[in-house]
Structure 1
Amino acid sequence: MGTRQAVNRLIVSVDAEGSSQRDLRGKLHLRDMVYRLVEDALRAVDLPADRVHLEDRGDGVLLATDPATPPEAMVGLWLEEIYQGLREHNRGGRPDARLRLRIGMHAGPVADDGRGLVGTAVDQACGLCDSAAARRVLAAAPRSDLVFVVSDWLYQSVVAEGGRFVEPEHYRPAPVEVKQAGLTAWFHVPGLPVPPLPAAGPALATGNPSGEGSRTGAPGGTGETDQEKDRQPVPPEPRREAPKYVFEQIDGDSTVLDGNTFEAGSTAVDQGRKRRTGGGGAR
């Protein structure tokens, strides 16, 4: 049996895309590959099985590291190993066997009741991984195989500090809904300068649906700043028509109108005449 005492741990939720669309053989292959990728990456950061809680989640896994494990190892080398393992697995393979992952990560106090982990940190890590925002980001990057989502706390406390294989400049924030609560999460798609954050309602910031090949440092991968996105188009100025008549001189008994001189008492005006620069009598 586990202990009900809450301990601060790093929580990682890993989920595979499109598992429900596979047949039994495909599901078994998917599960085998997910476990293989996760365990190989754990060995790369020197985390043996007795220092990690690994829990099956059907088409994914939930893991929690030992409290003594440096979190930067998980957001750095561990994630890089997952990314490179995915690339190797998917290179030259059949499209129907392609594996794409969503990974959510958070940290906080959790308890183990012997059946699994319990705590708000678990809810948030799983919620980030399974959020509509994470699904849309991965769908908006069709040539990528991994979207990584971390909580705002984890980004500010760990990712923003940088380090080996940690690239905070390639993360972008966006609001997400987790358990009917609005949170800020940070998204990263390894291999892209910025993650694509498509316009998808209030749960996700606006951005470029493709995101690939976009300008580095541009929010949402569009190559535009937030001010440029929000700027309303300036309507063209209304066309100003030239006045039909120009009074050039009103002097005594005569008036010069559009270059034509009219004597006092005249009411006939030829609207079709062209303007002349000099004076002259009406013809």
Structure 2
Amino acid sequence: MTPYSAPLPAAATAAPNTVSRPLPPYRGIVAVDAKDFTGRPAIEHAEISRSVPELLEASLNRAGLAHLWADRRFPNSTGDGYVFGFDPAHLPFMIHPWLNTLQDVLTRFNAGSPGVAPIRLRVSLHVGPLPDSGGEFDGNGTARNDTHRLLDSVPVKAILAASSESITQVAAILSDRAHQDAVAGGYAGRHPDHFLEVPATVEGKTFAQRAWLYIPAPSGNLYDRRILGEQVMADQRTPGGTCDDQADDAPATRTDIKADNGIVNTGRVSGGQHLSNRGGDHIGDRVEGSKIGSIGGEHIGGDNNGHRVGTVHGNLGDVVRDGQRKQDR
């Protein structure tokens, strides 16, 4: 008599990590959002929703990528934007020339619409496995979720808000995976120095990833990394700030700066500084016997002897070189 055994569950319905199954096909995925959509008069919403996909199609045509629009996978309008999948082999071309072409198309469109607020777009590009069998729920998965999180992340919103609306019409953010495959791999027609590495986080969400900004037409002081610092973001969250999707009455962010037995500088320092305490710390030309903690509300990594400084993030106003010398910027 054969022992009874329950039938194995179908792979599609089995719990994760219980039954091996094929990966979905890899797809490139692009998502765009119009800046300040919710702040525009309601009468303009339908026109923007209609214009965004038309602008995407026109820019792809001009970039020689009309087939990607014709063959787009799981397309969907998000009201203030649009998302679709594409063959990942074309990811390098979606980075360049398409992003620059989209910038040009938006510039022409906005110049031809006097008296109307310009349409400026945030763009995110990612690649990963996504269901694509022609079904109703195709395109849903982690790769798509991450694409939308990147689109809503602090750095790309801040960089577009801080730029000139007369010049910068597009701010793009690439996932680290897209950047490594297409840019660092040498396949995209843009040098890696055109891209700025940023920590992509989303306010109110448990999301934090390494990502890369690309601005086809920079304006203002966008090359200054401090534009992404805590102080800039705090200013944009206060009344009168420019960070989109923030209420005018949002409370300002408070930064508490503390330095036990030490000195904190957030601006320019001329000359030397000396601090004597029980630890024998000396701050000026040399830093000895102290572990560096926080400066300007941001973290600086170093060893217990203060001899090595890792990555510095934020608006510091001073430069620490070789972990020992502190020079005015």
| TM-score, length basis structure 2 | 0.56
CA distance in structure 2 between the aligned counterparts of 1:78 and 1:91, rounded to whole angstroms: 20
Who is 2:102 aligned against? 82
CA distance in structure 2 between the aligned counterparts of 1:70 and 1:132, rounded to whole angstroms: 27
Amino acid at match of 2:35: E
CA distance in structure 2 between the aligned counterparts of 1:137 and 1:109, rounded to whole angstroms: 29
CA distance in structure 2 between the aligned counterparts of 1:195 and 1:16, rounded to whole angstroms: 23
1:18 partner SS: coil
Who is 2:207 aligned against? 181
Who is 1:57 aligned against? 78
CA distance in structure 2 between the aligned counterparts of 1:175 and 1:199, rounded to whole angstroms: 10
CA distance in structure 1 between the aligned counterparts of 2:152 and 2:42, rounded to whole angstroms: 22
Whether the 8 Å CA contact 1:45–1:77 is kept in 2: the answer is no
Who is 1:272 aligned against? none
| TM-score, length basis structure 1 | 0.65
Moved more, 80-89 or 21-30: 21-30
Aligned residues with identical type, % of pairs: 25
1:94 alignment partner, one of 114, 123, 126: 114
CA distance in structure 2 between the aligned counterparts of 1:175 and 1:8, rounded to whole angstroms: 25
Whether the 8 Å CA contact 2:120–2:169 is kept in 1: the answer is yes
Who is 1:279 aligned against? none
CA distance in structure 2 between the aligned counterparts of 1:169 and 1:175, rounded to whole angstroms: 17
Q: Please report how far the alpha carbon of residue 128 of structure 1 lies from its aligned counterpart in structure 2 after TM superposition.
A: 0.8
Whether the 8 Å CA contact 2:197–2:212 is kept in 1: the answer is yes
Amino acid at match of 1:66: D
Q: Please report how far the alpha carbon of residue 195 of structure 1 lies from its aligned counterpart in structure 2 after TM superposition.
A: 4.8
CA RMSD after TM alignment: 3.0
Which protein is richer in strand relative to its size? 1
- Larger Rg, first or second structure (1 or 2): 1
Whether the 8 Å CA contact 2:171–2:214 is kept in 1: the answer is yes
CA distance in structure 2 between the aligned counterparts of 1:153 and 1:202, rounded to whole angstroms: 29
Moved more, 16-25 or 121-130: 16-25
Whether the 8 Å CA contact 1:104–1:125 is kept in 2: the answer is yes
Who is 2:178 aligned against? 154
In the alignment, structure 1 residue 125 sits paired with structure 2 residue 154: no
Inter-CA distance 24–186: structure 2 relative to 1 (3 Å threshold): same
Who is 1:18 aligned against? 36
Amino acid at match of 1:88: R
2:230 partner SS: coil
Q: Which runs of 5+ in 1 are unaligned?
A: 205-228, 239-283
2:130 partner SS: strand
Q: Please report how far the alpha carbon of residue 95 of structure 1 lies from its aligned counterpart in structure 2 after TM superposition.
A: 5.2
Within 5 A, what are the aligned runs for 1:268-283? none
2:52 alignment partner, one of 23, 30, 34: 34
* Cα deviation 1:159-208 (Å, max 9, x = unaligned): 2345675343211101112551321110011122865541433998xxxx
Amino acid at match of 1:233: V
Whether the 8 Å CA contact 2:149–2:207 is kept in 1: the answer is no
Q: Please report how far the alpha carbon of residue 120 of structure 1 lies from its aligned counterpart in structure 2 after TM superposition.
A: 1.1
Inter-CA distance 164–133: structure 2 relative to 1 (3 Å threshold): closer
CA distance in structure 1 between the aligned counterparts of 2:67 and 2:146, rounded to whole angstroms: 23
Who is 2:157 aligned against? 135
Inter-CA distance 141–28: structure 2 relative to 1 (3 Å threshold): same
CA distance in structure 2 between the aligned counterparts of 1:203 and 1:162, rounded to whole angstroms: 33
Inter-CA distance 152–232: structure 2 relative to 1 (3 Å threshold): farther
Whether the 8 Å CA contact 1:26–1:97 is kept in 2: the answer is no
Inter-CA distance 175–202: structure 2 relative to 1 (3 Å threshold): farther
1:20 partner SS: coil
CA distance in structure 2 between the aligned counterparts of 1:8 and 1:22, rounded to whole angstroms: 36
Amino acid at match of 2:107: R
Whether the 8 Å CA contact 1:90–1:99 is kept in 2: the answer is yes
Q: Please report how far the alpha carbon of residue 130 of structure 1 lies from its aligned counterpart in structure 2 after TM superposition.
A: 1.2
1:9 partner SS: strand
2:229 alignment partner, one of 200, 218, 221: 200
2:269 alignment partner, one of 233, 237, 250: 233
Inter-CA distance 162–88: structure 2 relative to 1 (3 Å threshold): farther
2:109 partner SS: helix
Q: Which runs of 5+ in 2 are unaligned?
A: 1-11, 13-22, 234-264, 275-329
1:19 partner SS: coil
Who is 2:136 aligned against? 114
Amino acid at match of 2:196: R
Who is 2:288 aligned against? none
1:172 alignment partner, one of 191, 196, 199: 196
1:107 partner SS: strand
2:66 partner SS: coil
